[in-house]
């Protein structure tokens, strides 16, 4: 009798969907921070 060991495959990589979601979130956060920075910069120029 032969018994075959079942090898458990452990996928520890990110899927394409997960990477796209993370990139989208980073893009949204970057756009908010850029908008805030530009508004802050405009106020500082006007106050000088």
**C-alpha torsion angle, residues 9, 13, 18, 19 (rounded to 10):** -160
What count of residues does the chain have? 48
- The ranges assigned to domains in the chain are 23-47
Degrees, nearest 5: CA angle 36-38-42 = 115
Does the pTM surpass 0.75? The reply is no
Question: For 31-41, b where at least 16 C-beta lie within 10 A, e where not — what string?
Answer: eeeeeeeeeee
Quote the pLDDT of residue 1: 58
Quote the pLDDT of residue 19: 96
* pLDDT, block means (10 residues), the chain with 48 residues: 69 89 98 95 84
């Amino acid at each position: 009798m032969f018994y075959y060991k079942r090898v458990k495959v452990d996928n520890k990589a990110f899927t394409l969907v997960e990477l796209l979601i993370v990139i989208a979130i980073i893009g949204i956060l970057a756009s908010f921070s850029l908008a805030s920075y530009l508004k802050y910069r405009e106020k500082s120029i006007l106050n000088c």
